[in-house]
Amino acid sequence: MGGWTLSAQRITDEFRLKAAVLFKLAQFVDWPAPAVEHRRTVDLCVAAPNPFGRLLEALADGESLNGRSLAVRETTGGGHGSCHVLFLPNAATMRKATLERIGHAPILTVSDAPQFLDEGGMVQLRVIGNRVRFDVSLTAAEQAGLRISPQLLRLAERVRGAK
């Protein structure tokens, strides 16, 4: 019984760390004007199954980015079109199909799946020790019209497509 409790606690701590990083990523991305103009919110979306529970909502409560409120929502099926950031958890069964469906839409795609960048994603998170590390596919981001801050790129472990 004690092993289960410890394991559940570790998972909770892991997703707390990932939620904090996911929340901060949007601060380092510039979207093309059509993706943000006439929008009151910056939408952080999480595909099912949502591993964060209410953590992201708590982090986003009362926060804004460039004058827009941060909104968090869970998505299912194809409801990703209005997302600015989309987290596709490792447990998501349709991750690769979702990336193909999104194509080059201006959505920052993030996951903790080990092969996420190979699947066409933009930011791959992983926990090493008690820290979240990440890799970035600059190529995928640029194809979507997103500009990722050099400051964030310097923090990445690896950057694919860097010039």
CATH for 98: 3.40.50
User: Can you give the residue range of the structural domain that contains 85?
Assistant: 2-160
Q: Which of 35-39, 120-124, 153-157 bottoms out in mean pLDDT, i.e. has the lowest? A: 35-39
pTM, 2 dp: 0.89
**CA 27, 30, 32, 33 torsion-angle sign:** positive
27-78 confidence digits (pLDDT tens): 999 999 888 888 888 899 999 888 988 888 888 888 888 888 888 998 876 6
Task: Please compute, for residue 19, the number of CA atoms within 13 A of its CA located in the half-sphere on the CB side.
Answer: 19
Residues 23/56, Cβ–Cβ less than 8 Å: yes
122 Rama class: left (phi>0) / alpha (psi -120 to 50) / beta: alpha
| Residue count (the chain) | 163
